[in-house]
């Protein structure tokens, strides 16, 4: 038996923009269902908001997201989770890191660390904090 975990991120009105960004970063495929398509919109503004969405990529990356309806409480909190992206080499993670930095706040520059050949942390323009690193024990590369 195999179990796979996928992070599900909650937004208030900008899930589509976030998913499109992640699709581009990870060269993935975007699938969305809007509240309007499901005849579940509570207001005209909600018609095009995401009721269910996901990005999947050939690399195995996956993330899900939706727009929390206006009638439900929503507080994105302060760093409620980190999304971790781990590769086998610096070459694997550097292009992802570079794309994620678009509009991001860098918390830790991607560089060698005592526990990994490369480690970095940033909060992207949608408020999601990402940890990007190379698997411990992997050979450091320049």
Q: What is the mean pLDDT of each run of 10 residues along the chain (142 residues)?
A: 80 96 97 95 95 95 93 78 89 96 97 92 94 74 48
pLDDT for the residue numbered 79: 66
Please give the pLDDT value at position 98.
97
Q: In the chain, what are the domain boundaries? A: 7-67, 82-134
Q: Residue 7 in contact with residue 81, Cβ under 8 Å?
A: yes
Is the distance from CB of 30 to CB of 64 less than 8 angstroms?
no
The highest-level CATH class for domain 7-67 is alpha beta
Phi, psi (deg, nearest 5) at residue 22: -65, -35
- Residue 93 CA to residue 8 CA, distance in Å, equals 21
Which class does domain 82-134 fall in? Answer: alpha beta
pLDDT value for 45: 93
Q: How many Å apart are CA 4 and CA 16, to the nearest integer?
A: 23
């Amino acid at each position: 038996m195999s179990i796979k975990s996928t992070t599900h991120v909650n937004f208030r009105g900008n899930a589509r923009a976030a998913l499109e960004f992640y699709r581009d970063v990870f060269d993935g495929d975007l699938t969305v269902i809007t509240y309007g398509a499901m005849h579940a919109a509570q207001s005209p503004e909600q018609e095009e908001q995401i009721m269910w969405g996901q990005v999947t990529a050939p690399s195995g990356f996956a993330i899900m997201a939706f727009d929390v309806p206006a009638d439900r409480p929503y507080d994105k909190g302060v760093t409620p989770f980190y999304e971790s992206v781990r590769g086998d080499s610096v070459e694997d993670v550097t292009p992802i890191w570079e794309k994620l930095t678009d509009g991001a706040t860098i918390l830790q520059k991607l560089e060698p660390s005592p526990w990994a050949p490369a480690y970095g942390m940033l909060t992207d323009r949608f408020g999601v904090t990402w940890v990007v690193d190379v698997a411990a024990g992997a050979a450091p590369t320049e």
